[in-house]
Amino acid sequence: MELTQYQTETELIAGLKAKNETALVQVYDRYYASLSGIIFKYVNDVELTEELIQETFVKIWLHIDSYDHSKGRLFTWMVNIARNLSIDKLRSADYKTSQKTEVLDNSVHNNNLNHSEQLRIDHIDMAEIVQRLRPEQKNLIDLIYFKGYTQAEVADKLKIPLGTVKTRVRAAIVELRKYFKVVNPK
């Protein structure tokens, strides 16, 4: 196991900027599962997810100097890198020829969380909580957190008023956090 030597996000970013490999490993340990979840939502393929995770962290390593703290947190920045790489992959020629055209069928409209093979065992209880989210809430946060839809795009897609988007996302996240406090009483 690696030593967790960076206590704060600021320290972690400084470590990455200093090209310290320990910092990268720490970032990887903390975020690889989350980013894999996002990438897998796009490509629906384990090998491809591994490949894109690799590309994502190499990109983080290479471009950490362009990370601007005033524009968002490290997590947000990394999520966008993972998203953009996934999108680029889906558009690339080699992907299109690899007969994986059905990939997005398994997209945000699929409310069925019973893909137990996708769920990590330590999150089973969490899955129950998510099941309890109203379908429109789940759709909403899937579009925003996985697909990177803007407020306007979500409003358009789900045919709900623009002003409702933010408040519904808030309500859903608050619901998730209730549970999070119980399982992570840090």
Partner 1 sequence: MSIHTFINSGILELYVAGVLTDAELAQVDDMIQKHPELQVEIQAIIDATILYTELHTVAINKDKTLENIKNAIQNLPAPEENNPKIKNGMFSKNNNAVKEDNLFTNKEGKNAEVKKLPNDGRPQNTPINRVLTDAQPGRPIAISQTKSYGWLAASIIFLLLSLGLNGFLYIEWDKQKATIVSLEQSIEKKGLEYQALNTKYSNTQGVMDIFTNKEFKQLQISGNDTMNSEMLATVYWNRKTQDVRIMPQSIAKLPTGKVYQLWAINNEGKPVDAGVLDMKDDIGTMQQMKLVADAKAFAVTIEPDGGSESPTMPIVMQASL
Measured CA to CA, the distance from residue 43 to residue 38 in angstroms comes to: 9
Tell me the C-alpha distance between 110 and 7, whole Å: 38
Q: Which two tokens stand for residue 161?
A: 């008023």
Among 76, 114, 135, 162, binds partner 1 (CB under 8 A): 76
Size of the site for partner 1 (CB under 8 A): 78
Q: How far is the CB of 54 from partner 1 (least distance, A)?
A: 5
Residues 1-20 touching partner 1, rule: CB under 8 A, are: none
The C-alpha atoms of residue 86 and residue 56 are separated, in whole angstroms, by 9
For residues 81-120, which are near partner 1 according to CB under 8 A? 81, 83-84, 87, 90-91, 96, 101, 104, 107-108, 118-120
Q: What gap in Å lies between CA 181 and CA 186, rounded to an integer?
A: 8
Q: From the list 20, 111, 148, 155, which residue makes contact with partner 1 (rule: CB under 8 A)?
A: 148
Q: Which of residues 156-185 bind partner 1 (CB under 8 A)?
A: 165-171, 173, 176-177, 180, 184
Q: Are 80 and 63 in contact (CB under 8 A)?
A: no
| Cβ–Cβ < 8 Å for 87, 42 | yes
Asked if 53 interacts with partner 1 (CB under 8 A), we say yes
Q: 135 near 111, Cβ under 8 Å?
A: yes
Instruction: Note whether 128 binds partner 1 by CB under 8 A.
Output: no
| Contact status: 46 vs partner 1 (CB under 8 A) | yes
Is 23 among the residues that bind partner 1 (CB under 8 A)? no
